[in-house]
Amino acid sequence: MRLLHTMIRSGDLDRSIDFYTQVLGMQLLRRKDYPEGKFTLAFVGYGDEKDHTVIELTYNWGVSSYELGGGFGHIAIEVDDVYAATAEIRSRGGKILREAGPMNAGTTIIAFVCDPDGYQIELIGKKP
């Protein structure tokens, strides 16, 4: 078994694809409209789906926003250098929620950014 993807809903699919590809550096792997169901799916990630876990962005036609709820926490992405990644994301227009630095009561370097729909993404420094 392996983890295939995490699905999140988007209020503006093009805006979300732009964030994940242009700000976070992922690739748009595939996109498909489902006219009978009135939704579109787009899959983004850092590598091919056969070898990598990806994010499924779901756009339900005509729905521009969602309540994020209290149960969802965040998506985590490992980066080589959290400080550099945060600076790069900021320069690309990304919103930084928590600046890079040691986690609370620990030494792991982390930061948090926010996607256009309000989903939090944790950047975690690669362990030596």
Question: Which active-site residues does the annotation give?
Answer: 122
How far apart are the two ends of the chain, measured CA to CA in Å? 27
Place of tokens 């980066």: 79
The Cα-based distances of 71 to 67, 74, 112 in angstroms read 11, 10, 17
What count of other Cβ atoms lies within 10 Å of the Cβ of residue 13?
Answer: 20
CB 29 within 8 A of CB 54: yes
